[in-house]
Amino acid sequence: MAIEVVDYLITHNEDMGMVPKFSMALLKDIQKEGLSDYDSVNKFITSKLQNHDIDFSEFEMQRNIEMKHSTSVVTKGEVVK
């Protein structure tokens, strides 16, 4: 399973290195509001989340991730080989 995780990370490395659009939009809004301390930024983001003002559409999954092959199976928190 660890090999498959590493393979996935290598295959999708470019996607993981990109800053999501919603993060950039949030950062611009935070800068525009002049927020600089943790509490005010946290309150601002929480408000945006509650009002559904953040566009997460770029994260809609196109396909499910499937495990190719594995020598072990995890059942109820235990690894069975």
Report the predicted TM-score, pTM, of the whole model to 2 decimal places.
0.54
65 belongs to a structural domain: no
Half-sphere exposure of 3 (CA within 13 A, CB side): 5
Count of structural domains within the chain: 1
Distance CA 62, CA 64 (A): 7
pLDDT tens string, the chain, 81 residues long: the values are 889 889 988 988 888 888 888 899 999 999 999 999 999 999 999 999 999 888 888 776 555 666 666 555 555 555 555
How far is Cα of residue 49 from the mean position of the Cα atoms in its chain? 15
64 belongs to a structural domain: no
Distance CA 6, CA 44 (A): 36
Domain ranges, residue 12? 2-58+70-80
Check residue 26 and give its pLDDT.
92
